[in-house]
């Protein structure tokens, strides 16, 4: 079992799995759920991208007439909402699902069925909020939905209802997943996998789960207020009743600022895996990178009002939030230098993944520096609500998060599917994407400095904005084919790509010590870890100089005395010292208990969808239908939840 096999055998069907549609609907396997997240998010990426391209076509020249102002409002609202909630967060979630258990040496997450539930809620919430755009009824209040504009008085249509309820549904998904992953990281680590030995992606994911746990309840409440105002006529944001419309802005940004770290930190984690692997060196200053991630997360709760300097909070508040915002640049800058020093002196391989990782460092630095320029309130007054801000956050979210996620996709594709993505197409994708990205967003800095406001659907000639808008639009039109090249490469490589082997990149962490794609049980024997780079201990001991080793945490392994049966009828210990596994067998042969597939989480999620869908029906005045939907949705939710909780997760308890 624990041998370094000379010729890893790759089989097309990953073990003894069924691959029918029911298999996907009932799966509780974290790797398959990750795959579902990945594909759904790529679909929404395409939707959000099309929305962006239409907007750029509208703004290419002055007085554009392609879409009306109403449609334009829906486009920018849905572009932002889609990219934040339906693309970047779920792409990160795809990696949380696929990678966290593999990186910490676990066989699944702490609550596998809850994990399936999170995905189905995400899918239903995503469709709920996206479908209205095809009926010209999409949300149109911006992704931040400032009150009182989004109250019933100024937005009487259904549009905003879909936004309020949709984000509420997606919040359920994010919170359920966050409790699950945080528990997994705290409690499911292999013997010896101490906190300070966790791979950096797992570290950054851990911080992100905490940000979700603490930030999402705030938006939940803010959304409930808006929901009550719109549906039941309460006064939370009603200025006529003496309410303070700034309440929404504060609650939104208390959530919204941690949210931007929720978007960027997983990408930071991914490049922290990619850079050491292709530099053939351990990550420089591991502990400092981990601590600065924690510090970013913590400080992230104390900077929210820098989004609101323009509303006039007074000199004390402005000063405090300006200072905390500048402080947060320190741990972020520390990370940048750690990545550069990781590459310094390494023997670098410029694979596609590495190119994207380096692009993240450079592009995120530009976005970070433009961010510092609006940390100072007086300077922010000039920049706020202009295209300069649009340029800034696309440099951090596209140049940062998306570049990092692409790096992660090229890097982990072989582990996911057992085959590599095509490097030549990958290089095309990288350069086209890199050029198009800068062509789109760099000119926006100038347009913004020349005073072009955000969210306008058209503009007059003669204000000096034409050139920059034209360049931005060309960039956007170039970004579309770049993404299509990626999609082609991605889907083709699943079946036609070069067979990768178990550790094609010569990486250092546990996920590369098992077959690609991983068997359903992940690890036949749970490895006992002695250092941060357990696999390099075996394959590249020469890179491990100066990396501390110890049997710390091995005491835990003593609890883990279970044995399982191998096909030969022989009993094997459940844990073993760090080793490489290349044999693929079924969990049954090995005697490893696996959770049963179940459809119940999907039905519980569907119950939530029906419940929430009843509210727009009620808003339309069809009360009887709405009450019927509430009754149906409520009983689906309760009934299937009861069935779920009373069914054992595995056979024979």
Residues of this chain that interact with other proteins (CB under 8 A) are 110-114, 175, 179-180, 182-183, 186-189, 193, 213-218, 220-222, 224-225, 228, 232-236, 241-244, 246-247, 250-251, 254, 301-302, 305, 313, 317, 556, 559-564, 574, 591-593, 645-649, 651-653
What kind and span of H or E run contains 205?
A: helix 200-232
296, 264 Cβ separation under 8 angstroms: no
C-alpha distances in Å from residue 608, one per residue of 62, 231, 290, 633, 636 = 45, 18, 37, 6, 8
When computed from its CA atoms, the radius of gyration of the chain, rounded to whole angstroms, is 25
Nearest to 91 by CA among 124, 42, 31, 48: 42
Question: DSSP readout, 359-390?
Answer: HHHHHHHHHHHHHHHTTSHHHHHHHTTBHHHH
Tell me how far, at minimum, the Cβ of 597 lies from other proteins, in Å: 15
Q: Is 272 a catalytic residue?
A: yes
Nearest to 375 by CA among 336, 337, 319: 319
Query: For residues 6 and 645, which CB has a smaller minimum distance to other proteins in the complex?
Result: 645
Tell me how far, at minimum, the Cβ of 247 lies from other proteins, in Å: 6
Per DSSP, the three-state class of 527 is strand
Tell me how far, at minimum, the Cβ of 258 lies from other proteins, in Å: 10
For 99: left if phi > 0, alpha if psi spans -120 to 50, otherwise beta; the answer is alpha
529, 509 Cβ separation under 8 angstroms: no
Of the candidates 81, 150, 205, 272, the residue annotated as catalytic is 272
Query: For residues 162 and 255, which CB has a smaller minimum distance to other proteins in the complex?
Result: 255
Residue 445: phi, psi to the nearest 5? Answer: -55, -45
C-alpha distances in Å from residue 442, one per residue of 51, 392, 476, 477 = 20, 9, 12, 15
Query: For residues 112 and 633, which CB has a smaller minimum distance to other proteins in the complex?
Result: 112
Cα separation, 150 vs 162, in Å, equals 12
Report DSSP state, residue 234.
Answer: -
26, 120 Cβ separation under 8 angstroms: no
Of the candidates 335, 419, 532, 585, the residue annotated as catalytic is 335
Tell me how far, at minimum, the Cβ of 117 lies from other proteins, in Å: 12
Query: For residues 234 and 586, which CB has a smaller minimum distance to other proteins in the complex?
Result: 234
Q: Is 108 a catalytic residue?
A: yes
Query: For residues 313 and 329, which CB has a smaller minimum distance to other proteins in the complex?
Result: 313
Query: For residues 452 and 605, which CB has a smaller minimum distance to other proteins in the complex?
Result: 605
* Beta-carbon count within 10 A of 259 CB: 23
Tell me how far, at minimum, the Cβ of 646 lies from other proteins, in Å: 6
Instruction: Pinpoint the alpha helices (H) of 233-351.
Output: 246-279, 286-299, 315-343
Of the candidates 108, 511, 520, 581, the residue annotated as catalytic is 108
Of the candidates 119, 122, 143, 237, the residue annotated as catalytic is 143
Which residue's structure tokens are 């592009």? 363
Query: For residues 24 and 228, which CB has a smaller minimum distance to other proteins in the complex?
Result: 228
Of the candidates 56, 113, 250, 257, the residue annotated as catalytic is 257
Cα separation, 384 vs 449, in Å, equals 10
Tell me how far, at minimum, the Cβ of 233 lies from other proteins, in Å: 5
Of the candidates 307, 394, 411, 419, the residue annotated as catalytic is 307
Cα separation, 125 vs 115, in Å, equals 15
Query: For residues 254 and 389, which CB has a smaller minimum distance to other proteins in the complex?
Result: 254
Of the candidates 29, 259, 273, 537, the residue annotated as catalytic is 259
Q: Is 332 a catalytic residue?
A: yes
82, 51 Cβ separation under 8 angstroms: yes
* Beta-carbon count within 10 A of 542 CB: 8
Of the candidates 37, 122, 237, 261, the residue annotated as catalytic is 261
Q: Is 173 a catalytic residue?
A: yes
Q: Is 335 a catalytic residue?
A: yes
Q: Is 325 a catalytic residue?
A: no
Tell me how far, at minimum, the Cβ of 330 lies from other proteins, in Å: 20
Of the candidates 30, 31, 32, 79, the residue annotated as catalytic is 79
Query: For residues 20 and 314, which CB has a smaller minimum distance to other proteins in the complex?
Result: 314
Q: Is 259 a catalytic residue?
A: yes
Tell me how far, at minimum, the Cβ of 139 lies from other proteins, in Å: 22
81, 52 Cβ separation under 8 angstroms: no
Tell me how far, at minimum, the Cβ of 525 lies from other proteins, in Å: 11
Q: Is 454 a catalytic residue?
A: yes
Which sequence positions are flagged as catalytic?
79, 108, 143, 173-174, 257, 259, 261, 272, 306-307, 332, 335, 454
């Amino acid at each position: 079992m624990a041998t370094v096999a000379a010729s890893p055998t790759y089989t097309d069907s990953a073990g003894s799995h069924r691959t029918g549609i029911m298999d996907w609907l009932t799966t509780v396997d974290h790797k398959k759920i990750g795959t579902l997240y990945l594909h759904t998010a790529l679909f929404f990426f395409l939707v959000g991208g099309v929305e962006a391209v239409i907007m750029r076509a509208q703004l290419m020249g002055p007085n554009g007439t392609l879409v009306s102002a109403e449609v334009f409002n829906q486009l920018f609202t849905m572009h932002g909402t889609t990219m934040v909630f339906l693309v970047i967060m779920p792409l990160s979630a795809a990696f949380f699902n696929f990678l966290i258990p593999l990186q910490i040496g676990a066989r699944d997450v702490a609550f596998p069925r809850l994990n399936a539930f999170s995905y189905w809620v995400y899918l239903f919430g995503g469709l709920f909020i996206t479908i209205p755009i095809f009926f010209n009824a999409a949300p149109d209040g911006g992704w931040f939905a400032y009150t009182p504009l989004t109250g019933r008085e100024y937005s009487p249509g259904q549009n905003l209802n879909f936004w309020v309820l949709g984000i509420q549904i997606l919040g359920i998904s994010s919170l359920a997943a966050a409790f699950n992953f945080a528990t997994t990281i705290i409690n499911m680590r292999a013997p010896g996998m101490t906190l300070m030995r966790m791979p950096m992606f797992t570290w950054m994911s851990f911080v992100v789960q905490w940000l979700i746990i603490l930030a999402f309840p705030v938006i939940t409440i803010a959304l409930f207020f808006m929901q009550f105002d719109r549906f039941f006529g309460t006064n939370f944001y009603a200025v006529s009743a003496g309410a303070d419309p700034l309440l929404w802005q504060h609650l939104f940004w208390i959530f919204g600022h941690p949210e931007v770290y929720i978007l960027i930190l997983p990408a930071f984690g991914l490049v922290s895996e990619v850079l050491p692997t292709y530099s053939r060196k351990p990550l420089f200053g591991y502990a400092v990178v981990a601590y600065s991630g924690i510090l970013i997360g913590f400080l992230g709760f104390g900077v929210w009002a820098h989004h609101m300097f323009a509303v006039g909070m007074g000199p004390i508040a402005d000063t405090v939030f300006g200072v905390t915002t500048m402080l947060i640049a320190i741990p972020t800058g520390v990370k940048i230098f750690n990545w550069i020093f990781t590459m310094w002196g390494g023997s670098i391989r410029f694979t596609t993944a590495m190119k994207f990782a380096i692009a993240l460092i450079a592009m995120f630095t530009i976005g970070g520096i433009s961010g510092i320029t609006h940390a100072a309130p007086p300077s922010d007054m000039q920049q706020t609500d202009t295209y300069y801000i649009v340029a800034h956050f696309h440099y951090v979210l596209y140049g940062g998060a998306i570049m990092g996620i692409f790096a992660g996709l090229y890097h982990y594709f072989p582990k996911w599917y057992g085959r590599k993505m095509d490097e030549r197409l990958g290089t095309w994708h990288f350069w086209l994407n890199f050029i198009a990205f800068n062509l789109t967003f760099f000119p926006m800095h100038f347009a913004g400095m020349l005073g072009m406001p955000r969210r306008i659907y058209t503009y007059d000639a003669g204000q000096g904005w034409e050139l920059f808008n034209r360049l931005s639009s060309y960039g956007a039109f170039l970004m579309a084919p770049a993404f299509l090249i990626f999609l082609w490469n991605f889907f083709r490589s699943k079946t036609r790509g070069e067979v990768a082997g178990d550790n094609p990149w010569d990486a250092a962490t546990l996920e590369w010590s098992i077959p690609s794609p991983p068997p359903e049980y992940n690890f036949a024997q749970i490895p006992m870890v002695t250092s941060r780079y357990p696999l390099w201990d075996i394959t590249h001991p020469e890179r491990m100089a100066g990396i501390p080793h110890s049997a710390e945490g091995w005491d835990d392994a003593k609890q883990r005395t279970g044995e399982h049966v191998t096909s030969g009828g022989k009993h094997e210990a459940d844990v073993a010292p760090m080793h490489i596994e290349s044999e693929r067998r079924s969990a049954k042969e090995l005697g490893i208990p696996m959770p049963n597939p179940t459809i119940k989480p999907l039905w519980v999620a569907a119950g939530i969808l029906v419940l929430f869908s009843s509210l727009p029906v009620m808003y339309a005045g069809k009360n009887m239908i709405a009450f019927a939907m509430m009754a149906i949705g409520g009983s689906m939710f309760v009934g299937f939840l009861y069935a779920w909780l009373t069914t054992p997760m595995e056979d024979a308890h």
